[in-house]
Structure 1
Amino acid sequence: MSIIVQKFGGTSVATAEKIRNAASRAIAAKKAGHQVVVVVSARGKKTDELVDLATEITGTPSPREMDVLLSTGEQETIALMAMAIHTLGEKAVSLTGPQIGIMTDEASTKARIRQIKTGRIHDLLDAGNIIVAAGFQGHDQIGNITTLGRGGSDTTATALAAVLNASLCEIYTDVEGVFTTDPRIVAEARQVHQISYDEMLELASLGAGVMHSRSIEFAKKYRVPLRVRPSFNEGSGTLISLQPLDPTPVVTGVALVKNELRVSLYNVPDRPGVMSLIFEKMAARKIPIDLVVQDIAEGGTAEISFTVPKDDFAEAVTAAEEAVEILGQGKVRHGTQLAKVSIVGSGMQTHTGVAAQLFQTLASHGINVLMISTGDIKISVLIDADRALDAVKAIHNDFGLDKLEIPKPHVGESLKGVSVETHPLDEKREREVVLRLANMEDIVVSDVIVDTTQARVTIKNLVDKAGIAANLFSVVAEGGVMVDMIVQNVSQKGRTNITFTIPANDLEKCLKLVKNAVEMDGEVTLTHDAEIAKISVAGIGLRSHTGVGEKMFRTLSDHDINILLVGASEMRMTAVINKSQANAAEKALCEMFLGPEI
C-alpha cells in the first residue's frame, strides 16, 4: 500500500471549517487506498502571536524557551485535526515532532534534522490510522524540543515523505500552484502543471514563495514527487518531479527579486586567493552571495561584483572593506535601488538565442542591463529597480508565457486530480535513507565537473547603452554559435565589458560574428582564449550554503590556481581557470568535497 504525505500550511488550518476541510482531504486519500500522513503548521497567525507575547515578557528570550513556546502552535493544530478526523468517522493519532522520532542537532530556532525513526509511524499506519504530525519541530539528543526555522513544516513533510518512501507529497497552500510569474505583477501569468526540481529550486532561490528551497532539496535528493495544491478547491496544482514536461518549454518562468544591493571591489590584485578571501569574509557572517561577476583581469587587477539581500548589505560592505584592507589595494563601491530579473527553463540548455531574445526584449523597452550572470537553466540580469515591473511584464509577454499551453501530466493512478505512482515499501531503501538523514542538510556537493571544450571571448570598453548585449548575442545566435556562460560587470565611465564562453571549435567563426556585431571604436578591444577550463561543483542549495564558495575558492587558492571568471546558481558554482590547471583543480576539489577516494 502506497503512502501519501499531505502538508497543510497555517492559512489552510486557520479555522475550524478549514481544519474539517483538510481532514476530509486526508480521509479521501485513505479511502482511495493509501496510507496517509498529514503534516500541519500552526494555525493562521498563531506563531506571530506567540512571538509577540514573548516580546512582551522579555526583549531577549532564550532560544531554547522560544522553541518550547513556538512548538505549541503545531501541537494545538494536530490535536484539532485528529479530532476532526475522528468526527468524520476515521481513526487518527496526533504526534509531536519528538513523538514521531525526529531528532535534530542542538541549534535552537534553526535546527537541522539528523535522524527520523519510523517504527512507530509504520505501526500506527498499519493499524489503520491517519497520522497527524506536527511540522517544524523535533528534539535534540538530550530531549530538548527544537524548531526547524523558516520553511520548517515543508521540510518536515518532505523529509517524512523521503524516509517513508512516499509515492507523493502534497503541499496544500493558498495559491493554485506554481505560475509562470507572480500573478500580482502579470495578470496573464499561467499556471504551470509540471516543473522539474531544478527549475523549482532556481525559482525558489529567486524569490518564488510557493515553497522553501530546503524542502525541494529533500525531494530532489530522494526523488519524492511533490505536488503544490490549492487548499480552497479541487485544483490539481503543480507537480514538481525529476523531469520537466516533454516537449520542454524553453522558458518556464520569470522571477523578480526586489531590493538587490550590489557590492563591487575594483582594482583588486589578480592572483590566487582573492576570491577565496572575499568568500571567506562573507561566509564568516553567513551572508548569502547571489549574483556573482568577476571580469577578466587587465593590467594585473580584477573587478569583482556581487549582490546581497538588503538585510545583509551593511555587513557585506564591511566584509568587503576588510578584504580590501588585507589585500592591500582596491576600492569598494556599492549600488542601491536595483532589482534582479531572471528567466528559468530547462529548455534553454538546448536552444540558441535565448539570451539574445532576453536582451532584445529589455532593449526594446529602454531597459539597460547593469550586470549579467548565467547558469545552466537560468539567466539573471541586474537592472534599475524602477524598471523591474516593466521588465517582468515585457519578458513574460515576449517569451509567450501568457499563451503557454502546458498539458496536465497523466502519471499512474488518479486521486481526485492527483496523479500518483505506487511505490512498494522497500525496507533496505528506508534503512539507507535513515542512515543518510544524519547529514541530510549538510553542505551537499554531488559532483565535480570539468569542461575543457570551451573558449573565452571578451569585449572590453563597450559603450554602455540599452541594446548592446541584445545586438551582440543576436548576431552570435543567428550565426549558430551556442553561448554558454555570460558575464557582464557594472560599467565604469559609460563603458562596460562582456565576457562569454562558447565551444572552442566555434571560436574563429564567433570572432568574425562579434566583429560584425560590435562597433570597434578606438577604445573597444576584443580578446579570446582557447586554453581555458570550466571547473564546477554541483549539488543542491549551493548558493544558500555560504560555505561552498569559500571552500571551493580556498582549495583552488591553496593549489595556486587563479580564477578568471566566476558564475553561481542554486545547483552549481563555476570558475573559469587556465586549461593547464584543470586536472589539478579537479583532483583538489574532489578531495575537498567528495573525499580522497574519488
Structure 2
Amino acid sequence: MKIIVQKFGGTSVHTPELREKAALKLKEAYEEGYSPVAVVSAMGRAGAPYATDTLISLAKNEYEHLDSRNLDILMSTGEIISAVIMTQTLRKLGLKAVVVTGWQAGIITDDRFGDATIKRVDTKKILSYLEKGYIVVVAGFQGASEDGEITTLGRGGSDTSAVILGLALEAEYVDIFTDVIGVMTADPRIVPEAHILEGLTYTEAAEIIQQGAKVIHDKAMNIAREYRVPLRVRSLNDEGKGTLICDIRSMSKEGLRLFSQDRTVYSIAFRKGLAQFRVKLNGKKEDNLLMFQLLANKGISIDLINLFPDIVAFVVEEGKALRVKEILEKEGFELTLIYPCAKISLVGSGMADRPGVVADMVEALRESKIEILQTSDSHVTISCLVHAADMEKAIQVLHRKFQLEDIC
C-alpha cells in the first residue's frame, strides 16, 4: 500500500470551490494508486465563521477568563467541522471517505494544553480504513493525552499533524498545499518573475523557511528534516508537483538540481513587522548581560544582534517594541527605536567562502537609495534590515542583482 498524506490549510478549504479543488487533488492521488490521507485545518482565517481565531474571539468576548483545557476543546472544533465538510465533498465526487478526529487518528500527546507535543501515533484505525479503500480525512492541529484529554498542537499544528502522520504511516510523500506553486526564488507577489525551486534538500528548505518563507511551519519542517520525511510544497491552482524537499540521494533519483552546489544565492526570504533597537551601553560591559537577562526573563526573543563597544543593536517583533522600550528605559538604558522594519535574507550556500556577496548586496541597495539599518551573516544566509517601506523594492533589486530570474 502506497500512502500519501495531503495537508490543506485554512485558505485551501474555506469555500466550496476550493474544497472541491482539494477533493480533486485527493481523487487524483487515489487514481494514481495512492491511499490518500487528508489533514485539514479550520476553514478560513480570522473573521470566517469557523476559523480558530473566530472561535476564540467568540468565547473571550463573552468571558474574559477561559482556562486552557476548555480553550483546547473549543479550538479543536474548527478542524472537526472542516474535516466533516471535506469528507462530504469527497463523497459528492463518488469517493469513499471517512472523517476522524486527531485522537481517533491515534495522535497521543503530552498534557500541555495549547502547545502539546506528540508522543506517539497509533495508526491502526487509519490503516484499517485505508485497507478498505477509504480516503481518510483527519482533523489537524489536535490530539489527546494518555488519559483522554483533548489537546491542540500550537502554531502550525496542522502542518505538524501531517508530517507526524506521514512519518508514522511511512508515506511516500507529505503534500503541503499552499497559495504558491512551490518554494520560490522570492515571493511571486513581490517579484513576478520569481522561479520555482523544484527540489531542495532539508537543510536548504529549512533555512528558507526559518528566514520567513511561509510555506510550512518551521516546527513541522524540523520534524521532517530530522526523520527524513519527503515533503512536497504544492498549489491547488497548479497541475505541477511543486517543490520536493528530500535528501540528496532522493533528489538525485528524481533528477533534480542541488542549487547550493552551483549558486551562491538561490532564494530571498523576508520577515516584516519588526522593530530595531540601538541601545547605548555607557562603556559598561556588564550592561550587555543585564539587558539580555531582562528581556529573556520577560520571554522576549531577539534577532539580528550586533555588539559594539558602546552600543548594541537588535530586532524584536514590532508588537513587542513598546514593551521592550518600557523595560529597558526603566533600567536606565538610553535607546533609539526604529520601526516598522523588515529583514531580508539572501539564502545560499558557503557564504563565508564566497567573497563579494555582501559587497554586491550593499552596492545594489545603495544604488537604489535603500538605507541598510543592520546586517548579519552565517554560512548559508546574509541578512539586512531595511525600513518596511523599502522592503518590496529591496527584494526586487536583489533578485535582479543575483540573477535569480535565470534559475530554471
- Taking the aligned partners of 1:391 and 1:234, their CA distance within structure 2 comes to 31
Q: Give the drift of 1:321.
A: 4.9
Match in the other structure for 1:374: 377
Q: Secondary structure at the match of 1:368?
A: coil
Q: Give the drift of 1:361.
A: 1.0
Q: Secondary structure at the match of 1:132?
A: strand
Q: Give the drift of 1:268.
A: 5.8
What 5-or-longer segments of structure 1 have no aligned partner?
407-598
Q: Give the drift of 1:395.
A: 0.8
- Taking the aligned partners of 1:270 and 1:118, their CA distance within structure 2 comes to 58
Q: Secondary structure at the match of 2:116?
A: coil
- Taking the aligned partners of 1:248 and 1:227, their CA distance within structure 2 comes to 22
Correspondence 1:125 to 2:144: no
Q: Give the drift of 1:262.
A: 1.7
Correspondence 1:280 to 2:282: no
- Contact 2:281-2:287 at 8 Å conserved across structures: no
Match in the other structure for 1:315: 323
- Taking the aligned partners of 1:8 and 1:317, their CA distance within structure 2 comes to 40
- Taking the aligned partners of 2:335 and 2:119, their CA distance within structure 1 comes to 41
- Taking the aligned partners of 2:284 and 2:171, their CA distance within structure 1 comes to 51
Q: Give the drift of 1:105.
A: 3.0
- Name the CA shift for 1:286/1:199 in 2 (closer, same or farther; >3 Å): farther
- Taking the aligned partners of 1:268 and 1:35, their CA distance within structure 2 comes to 65
- Taking the aligned partners of 1:274 and 1:227, their CA distance within structure 2 comes to 46
Correspondence 1:292 to 2:305: yes
Structure 2 counterparts to residues 171-190 of structure 1, below 5 A: 171-190=176-195
- Taking the aligned partners of 2:267 and 2:92, their CA distance within structure 1 comes to 43
Following superposition, which runs of at least 4 residues in structure 1 exceed 6 angstroms of deviation?
none
Instruction: Give the aligned CA root-mean-square deviation in angstroms.
Output: 2.6
Which range moves more in the overlay, 33-42 or 58-67? 58-67
Correspondence 1:37 to 2:45: no
What 5-or-longer segments of structure 2 have no aligned partner?
249-256
- Taking the aligned partners of 1:374 and 1:205, their CA distance within structure 2 comes to 14
Q: Give the drift of 1:9.
A: 1.3
Structure 2 counterparts to residues 343-358 of structure 1, below 5 A: 343-346=346-349, 348=351, 350-358=353-361
Match in the other structure for 1:265: 279
- Name the CA shift for 1:335/1:88 in 2 (closer, same or farther; >3 Å): closer
Q: Give the drift of 1:397.
A: 1.1
- Contact 2:166-2:174 at 8 Å conserved across structures: yes
- Taking the aligned partners of 1:235 and 1:20, their CA distance within structure 2 comes to 18
- Taking the aligned partners of 1:199 and 1:396, their CA distance within structure 2 comes to 18
Correspondence 1:404 to 2:399: no
Percent of aligned pairs sharing the same letter: 38
Correspondence 1:14 to 2:22: no
Q: Give the drift of 1:235.
A: 2.5
State the AA in 2 paired with 1:66: L
State the AA in 1 paired with 2:381: K
Number of aligned residues: 394
Correspondence 1:252 to 2:254: no
- Name the CA shift for 1:278/1:117 in 2 (closer, same or farther; >3 Å): farther
- Name the CA shift for 1:132/1:185 in 2 (closer, same or farther; >3 Å): same
Q: Secondary structure at the match of 2:4?
A: strand
Q: Give the drift of 1:190.
A: 2.3
Q: Give the drift of 1:343.
A: 0.9
**Bigger Rg, structure 1 or 2:** 1
Q: Give the drift of 1:97.
A: 0.8
Give per-residue Cα distances to partners, 1:268-313, cap 9 Å, x unaligned: 6665x76555443333322221111113x4xxxx532210001121
- Taking the aligned partners of 2:120 and 2:26, their CA distance within structure 1 comes to 26
- Which residue among 342, 365, 375 is the counterpart of 2:368? 365
Q: Give the drift of 1:252.
A: 1.7
Match in the other structure for 1:236: 241
Match in the other structure for 1:393: 396
**TM-score normalized by structure 2?**
0.87
- Contact 1:278-1:319 at 8 Å conserved across structures: no
Q: Give the drift of 1:230.
A: 0.9
- Taking the aligned partners of 1:80 and 1:294, their CA distance within structure 2 comes to 53
- Taking the aligned partners of 1:145 and 1:94, their CA distance within structure 2 comes to 17
Q: Give the drift of 1:102.
A: 1.6
- Name the CA shift for 1:233/1:371 in 2 (closer, same or farther; >3 Å): closer
Q: Secondary structure at the match of 1:191?
A: coil
- Taking the aligned partners of 1:346 and 1:25, their CA distance within structure 2 comes to 34
Match in the other structure for 1:342: 345
- Contact 1:219-1:225 at 8 Å conserved across structures: yes
Structure 2 counterparts to residues 68-87 of structure 1, below 5 A: 68-87=73-92
Give per-residue Cα distances to partners, 1:240-276, cap 9 Å, x unaligned: 23347255432122233333212233226665x7655
- Contact 1:263-1:332 at 8 Å conserved across structures: yes
- Taking the aligned partners of 1:265 and 1:133, their CA distance within structure 2 comes to 49
Q: Secondary structure at the match of 1:314?
A: helix
- Contact 1:285-1:315 at 8 Å conserved across structures: no
- Taking the aligned partners of 1:106 and 1:280, their CA distance within structure 2 comes to 29
Q: Give the drift of 1:342.
A: 1.7
- Contact 1:162-1:218 at 8 Å conserved across structures: no
- Contact 1:136-1:156 at 8 Å conserved across structures: yes
Q: Give the drift of 1:215.
A: 1.4
- Name the CA shift for 1:241/1:277 in 2 (closer, same or farther; >3 Å): farther
Which range moves more in the overlay, 230-239 or 330-339? 330-339
